[in-house]
Amino acid sequence: MSKSVSLLGLLFLLACGSSDDSATGSGADSDGGTTTTGGTSTSGGSSSTGGTSATGGTSATGGTSSTGGTSSTGGTSSTGASATGGTSGGSVVIPAERDNAEAVRVMTYNVMIAGSDDNMPEFIDTRRHELFQTVVNNVPDLIGFQEASTMVSNSDGVTQQDALGQLFDGTQYQYLTWEVQGGNIMSVIAVNTDRFSPVANGTHPMDLVDDIGETAWERYHDLHGTFHAQGGFVHRMSSERHANWVVADDLTTDKRVLLINTHYETFIGNNNLGAEFDDDFAEFTSVVNASFGYWSRTVAALAATLRAEHGADGVVILGDLETIDVNLPGMLELTDAGYTEAWWYMNPAGAGAFRPVQGIDNVFVDLADFDIVGAAYDEADYTDDASDHKPLYADLSWK
């Protein structure tokens, strides 16, 4: 094993010496299309509740859909979605050395949506490399990315999600996406196959209309536009969010983990329109918090179902949950279900610790499954302009 690590380190140094190495593979187009080369392919699972299977791609690990809706039985899998055009990502073999190597290291990182096609050159030439540097430096075992869009692309049709995936080509990471035709599932997962072997994966839709009804959703959408419009522009809002998941076996133990990655819709913000809008803002605040509660409740139920179906020994729920207060529904639904947020656990209230981006990036685990032995943000210089979020890590020790 030590000889293997030494070789990986040497290859890494050689690869970093050149910025012109081209990523290999045939690439994956934005609606599923052709899968890339690389990655570990296993037999596909079957959907337990029917639903519409995601189009295109080759299932990397199969996967069993747990509860209704549109299920992806594996999505598009590769060790880096290679595409033509732009600055090549290179083929970097990431060295396996890191501190606290025995722990399971998980990471959540909102990579900031490119926003428009005009922003893609900056993402491809600069930002994605800054984003990837935290992977190289910290070597997480399980990664959840958010806001990797499939709706923006460069002139060659390379989407933000594809461009990020290019950087994992040639590495030990398996890069999992669940894009379906006409959709925009922006959360992806990467698994370090030196530590974990994926056995199943999928995506679970969570439509707020199912909880509050169409009329209430339309009112919610209008209030969102009222308080979040900036210069006549307000970001595209959808009632449907997704919980993407992977089940993987820890190659160093006999343990099996379930990882769920998600991103809730919108945020509360502030009333900058004056006192006459106070009542509307109070209504907006209430419905946003209720929606976060619905999504957390749904995620907790999904976790229980998938854990039982796949015999997982531990569950990790992570993502951009948009909530800064442990006493609000988005957090309470998870803590009431038995989960503990890693950063808050390591930095208890009153400790005076600063949390970037108001603390809306979270990692939740059940302390019956794991000891939380570390939780920190990577705040190195390369993260300053990479995104409007900082990557959050947690180190977990199996019970």
Give the angle subtended at the CA of 168 by the CAs of 9 and 164, to the nearest 5°: 135
- From first to last of the 399 residues of the chain, give the pLDDT tens digit: 433 333 333 333 333 333 333 222 222 322 332 233 333 333 333 333 333 333 333 333 333 333 433 344 445 554 333 322 233 333 455 776 788 889 999 999 998 887 788 888 888 888 988 999 999 999 999 999 999 888 889 988 888 999 999 999 999 999 999 976 556 799 999 999 999 999 999 999 999 999 999 999 999 999 999 998 865 656 678 899 999 999 999 999 999 999 999 999 888 989 999 999 999 999 999 999 999 999 999 999 999 999 999 999 999 999 999 988 888 999 999 999 999 999 999 988 655 556 777 678 999 999 999 999 999 998 877 787 788 889 999 999 999
The rounded distance, in Å, linking the Cα atoms of 346 and 306 is 28
CA count, 13 A, side-chain hemisphere, 314: 25
Q: Is 278 exposed, middle or buried (0-12, 13-18, 19+ CB in 10 A)?
A: exposed
Pairing of strands 142-146, 104-110: parallel
Domains in the chain, start-ordered, CATH in brackets?
A: 2-398 (3.60.10.10)
Token code pair at residue 219: 């009112």
pTM here is: 0.78
Task: Give the phi and the psi of residue 143 in degrees, each rounded to 5.
Answer: -125, 135
Task: Give the phi and the psi of residue 176 in degrees, each rounded to 5.
Answer: -110, 130
